[in-house]
Amino acid sequence: MDMSVPRASGPRLKLVVVGNGMAGMRTLEELLKAAPGLYDVTVFGDEPHPNYNRIMLSPVLAGEQTIEQIVLNSRDWYAENGITLFAGKKVVKIDRRARCVEADDGTRAPYDRLLLATGSKPFILPVPGADLPGVIGFRDIADVDVMIRAASQYRHAVVIGGGLLGLEAANGLKLRGMDVTVVHIGAWLLERQLDEPAARLLQKSLEEKGLRFLLQTHTAELVRADTGRVGAVKFKDGGTIPADLVVMAVGIRPNTELAESAGLHCHRGVVVNDTMQTFDPRIYAVGECVNHRGVAYGLVAPLFEQAKVCANHLAEHGVARYQGSMTSTKLKVTGIDLFSAGDFAGAEGTETLVFSDAAAGSYKKLVLKDNRLVGACLYGDTLDGAWYFDLLREGTDVSQFRKTLLFGQHHVGDSGHGPAERVAALPDTAEICGCNGVKKGDIVGAICSKKLFTLDEVRAHTKASASCGSCTGLVEALLAHTVGGDYSAAPSKKPLCGCTDHSHDEVRAAIVAQQLKTLPEVMRHLDWKTADGCSKCRPALNYYLLCAWPTEYRDDAQSRYINERAHGNIQKDGTFSVVPRMWGGLTNPKELRAIADVAEKFKVPEMKVTGGQRIDLFGVKKEDLPAMWADLSAAGFVSGHAYGKALRTVKTCVGSQWCRFGTQDSTGLGVKLEKMTWGSWMPHKFKLAVSGCPRNCAEATIKDFGVVCVDSGYELHVGGNGGIKVRVTDLLCKVETEAEVLEYCAAFTQLYREEAHYLERTAPWVERVGLAHVKAKVVVDAANRKALAERFRISQQTAQIDPWKARAEGEARHEFTPITALV
């Protein structure tokens, strides 16, 4: 067959889409991303609306949302993307030879490629009276309009079908004030999703909402009232109930009418292969109208996967394959949490774990086969649904935690955390939004990298929670966990200071992206409003530049606070304090003697042992600093940076050298850590500690980076803070060797250096970006960890030059001497 089509250089290809619904428009969105401008696109839609979120018709019916809120692609979207939309026109003919479609009003459109996305139709029971006014399906906006109007005029509604759709219709009509009876042929509700005990719990809570149920009841006839409208439903057993409105929700049938009329092979759907092509290679099909490997899906998640694959082929990338989907379902009735996935009926060779607390309205059933989860049905508490679904799809061997499997993920290996921590504990691969196949890692990644603060932003960027919305709670918990605190009170962007409109993050990003390497360059490029900044932005910019370009940037002393310019801590009387570094708090007689000599020689008025395990010399005159440093330097001391936004101290305990409880050489490790990190400039001060056992004498769990030694290795803790607001560290991870401690420490330090705002300590930073983010960058992604550690190592090459020695040798002499003395 001749498949040659005009290339991009010639006239553009013509793509015609039949069906302006969820699968078709998702395919177009994916296509526009993959190959913008490849096609002239024309869309035909039977409904007079732009594409809307059909899933949300249930909340619209329930009065929880409006039609305007559920529009997915506004008319502007079609216009902006150059798409011709024929809304309200039904395609009635495909001329495959002429490659042209024709609508019911005669509109014709030629195509090079054609996409069928005609969805499905509600199945209407073939009983007498099924065509009466007042008998409808539940499929589109028109149906919802009919239901809302009926609810305002009539009293009795009957919903035929106790599946997901039927229950959502019944719930909505009830909320609209009607008397609702659900007629169901099965022995219990949702028999395709739930087992009997769970269904009973569900039925009970729906009855409490005022719904009535007739189970195992067969409809025989819909009886016409005098008005000409439907008036009653008659059953096979002879009973009759009044009905002013009958909603048929007994199933859907793929809408293949058009495809069949064009001679395309159809069998319970338009048959497609793994590239979403029909038997005519120019014609693709996606969505509910499709039969793929014998399955016609009725949920959006698989359809969106199909859309992606189809777009890949329309874009002529030609690599994607659709291989079928595993689906899970939830019920969108407010106040009712229900989740089911896989095969929960418990076939042969399976074992069943059941947890049931009828009083609390909670039921869980897990079906295992060969120690792998094959089915799950949750009612009441569904927070772990995503986790189970993950285990199910991955085929994870659960024998290790089988005993606690029923109690959910938060019981595996960890305890004592609140519910918000449960989403935090999910692996990055856990699927949060089933509709759009969005994984936890995608959401967290987008939140972090795109600085998302609101549910709407997350929806816009990841599509998570943008479809049926039943994962909204999970997404919100993730937001709260990732951005911390009150995520919805989206801080409108906060400028770094009054000299600019840009935020810290924007400035940092611009420095790297635009290769800005000096302060004046930054200010010029970012339109600083003042000529040379202020005491707030200049130190921040100086730090950002030196962090971004460690080997190139020439530090701007005039943009440093006096302590860092003079390398001492300024005191209330203008004198300075001197704190030499004592590695890990270790000292010896020679060092102590040298410090004593210096103190006497320079008449130091006061000495003190600091809270950081070293000695402070107070009240030193600025002019004396270089000479004093010369002596200290000669005795082997370097600056302790007790004055800087820098690595301060590494506090250690006695450890295994001497202590009867010590498990590892905490002192030795502390010294190694200090040798690695000293001299580094930071967004704020940075403190380390190493304790030799969980008694934690070095207080490692309130440090920026703390190590608690245990028999089997080292626990690494991060984000702790003493000081103004005490914050206990979060456990980052556990490692086994000293080498790992050093690598993780370097990586964590560098991540903080690269990401925190100037003057933000690790505690607020971790709370802002979320521990999950830190773990992802430092623990999970080993390559990233190594890259971070390597960047830290490189920046240390230029940072570990003792500022005291340099100044003792004459650097920045002007800083320490008056320009002139007129006395």
Amino acid at 410: H
In the bound complex, what is the minimum distance in angstroms from residue 391's beta carbon to ligand FAD? 21
Contact indicator for 102, 44 with CB cutoff of 8 Å: no
Comparing every residue's Cβ against ligand FAD, the nearest one is 21
Question: Counting contacts by CB under 6 A, is residue 21 touching ligand FAD?
Answer: yes
Interface with another protein (CB under 8 A), residue from 9, 153, 535, 712:
535
Question: Counting contacts by CB under 6 A, is residue 446 touching ligand FAD?
Answer: no
In order of 375, 584, 594, 680, the CA distances from 632 in angstroms are 70, 18, 7, 20
Residue closer to ligand SF4 (CB basis): 82 or 722? 722
CA distance 221 to 127: 5
CA distance 388 to 373: 8
Binding mask of the shown chain, residues 694 to 723, with x at each position contacting ligand SF4 by CB under 6 A: -xxx--------------------------
CA distance 424 to 441: 11
User: What CA dihedral angle connects 309, 311, 317 and 321, to 10 degrees?
Assistant: 10
- Which DSSP letter does residue 757 get? P
Look at residue 359 and give its three-state secondary structure. coil
Interface with another protein (CB under 8 A), residue from 124, 215, 570, 635:
570
- Which DSSP letter does residue 580 get? B
CA distance 475 to 489: 15
In the bound complex, what is the minimum distance in angstroms from residue 679's beta carbon to another protein? 23
In the bound complex, what is the minimum distance in angstroms from residue 537's beta carbon to another protein? 9
Which one of ligand SRM, ligand SF4, ligand FAD, none is in contact with 768 (Cβ closer than 5 to 8 A by kind)? none
Which one of ligand SF4, ligand FAD, ligand SRM, none is in contact with 649 (Cβ closer than 5 to 8 A by kind)? ligand SRM
CA distance 44 to 87: 6
Which one of ligand SRM, ligand FAD, another protein, none is in contact with 347 (Cβ closer than 5 to 8 A by kind)? none
Question: Counting contacts by CB under 8 A, is residue 822 touching another protein?
Answer: yes
Residue closer to another protein (CB basis): 538 or 581? 538
Which one of ligand FAD, another protein, ligand SRM, none is in contact with 729 (Cβ closer than 5 to 8 A by kind)? none
Q: At what angle do helices 762-769 and 472-483 cross, to 10 degrees?
A: 160
Alpha helices per DSSP H over 426-471: 440-449, 455-462
- Segment near another protein (CB under 8 A); pick from 144-152, 552-560, 702-710, 765-773: 552-560
Residue closer to ligand FAD (CB basis): 137 or 692? 137
CA distance 651 to 700: 8
In the bound complex, what is the minimum distance in angstroms from residue 701's beta carbon to ligand SRM? 11
DSSP secondary structure letters along 391-409 = HHHHT-B-GGGGGGGGG-G
Residue closer to ligand FAD (CB basis): 102 or 631? 102
> Which residue, among 222, 249, 216, 244, has the nearest Cα to 234 in the 3D structure?
222
What are the structure tokens assigned to 84, written together?
A: 């011709």
Question: Counting contacts by CB under 6 A, is residue 693 touching ligand SF4?
Answer: yes
Contact indicator for 629, 808 with CB cutoff of 8 Å: yes
Please name the residue that has the structure tokens 């909603």. 247
Site for another protein in 475-534 (CB under 8 A): 530-534
CA distance 396 to 372: 6
Q: At what angle do helices 141-153 and 164-175 cross, to 10 degrees?
A: 40
Site for ligand SF4 in 66-95 (CB under 6 A): none
- Segment near ligand SF4 (CB under 6 A); pick from 1-9, 234-242, 481-489, 690-698: 690-698
DSSP secondary structure letters along 101-165 = EEETTS-EEE-SEEEE---EEE-----TTTTSTTEE-S-SHHHHHHHHHHHHH--EEEEE--SHH
Which one of another protein, ligand SRM, ligand SF4, none is in contact with 662 (Cβ closer than 5 to 8 A by kind)? ligand SF4
Residue closer to ligand FAD (CB basis): 470 or 796? 470
Bridge partner residues of 253 (DSSP): 121
Residue closer to ligand FAD (CB basis): 24 or 408? 24
In the bound complex, what is the minimum distance in angstroms from residue 707's beta carbon to ligand SF4? 11
Residue closer to ligand FAD (CB basis): 31 or 742? 31
> Which residue, among 548, 498, 493, 495, has the nearest Cα to 519 in the 3D structure?
548
- E strands present in 3-88: 13-18, 39-45, 84-87
Question: Counting contacts by CB under 8 A, is residue 819 touching another protein?
Answer: yes
Residues in touch with ligand SRM (CB under 6 A): 569, 571, 577, 579, 608, 610-612, 614, 616, 642, 648-649, 651, 685, 687, 721-724, 761
Residue closer to another protein (CB basis): 319 or 531? 531
Interface with ligand FAD (CB under 6 A), residue from 29, 30, 46, 564:
46
Residue closer to another protein (CB basis): 80 or 623? 623
Interface with another protein (CB under 8 A), residue from 504, 538, 614, 645:
538
Site for ligand SF4 in 650-669 (CB under 6 A): 653-655, 659, 661-662, 666
The answer for residues whose C-beta is within 8 angstroms of residue 522's C-beta and 6 or more apart is 507, 510, 511, 516, 528, 541, 545
User: What CA dihedral angle connects 546, 552, 557 and 562, to 10 degrees?
Assistant: 30
Question: Counting contacts by CB under 6 A, is residue 692 touching ligand SF4?
Answer: yes
CA distance 467 to 471: 9
Contact indicator for 309, 329 with CB cutoff of 8 Å: no
CA distance 633 to 263: 91
- Segment near another protein (CB under 8 A); pick from 44-52, 500-508, 560-568, 639-647: 560-568
Which one of another protein, ligand SRM, ligand SF4, none is in contact with 648 (Cβ closer than 5 to 8 A by kind)? ligand SRM
Kindly list the residues in this chain that would bind ligand FAD in the complex (CB under 6 A).
18-24, 44-47, 54-55, 57-58, 90-91, 117-119, 138-139, 165, 168, 255, 258, 287-289, 298-301, 303, 332, 435, 468
Kindly list the residues in this chain that would bind another protein in the complex (CB under 8 A).
530-535, 538-539, 557-562, 565-566, 570, 572, 574, 814, 818-823
Kindly list the residues in this chain that would bind ligand SF4 in the complex (CB under 6 A).
653-655, 659, 661-662, 666, 691-693, 695-697
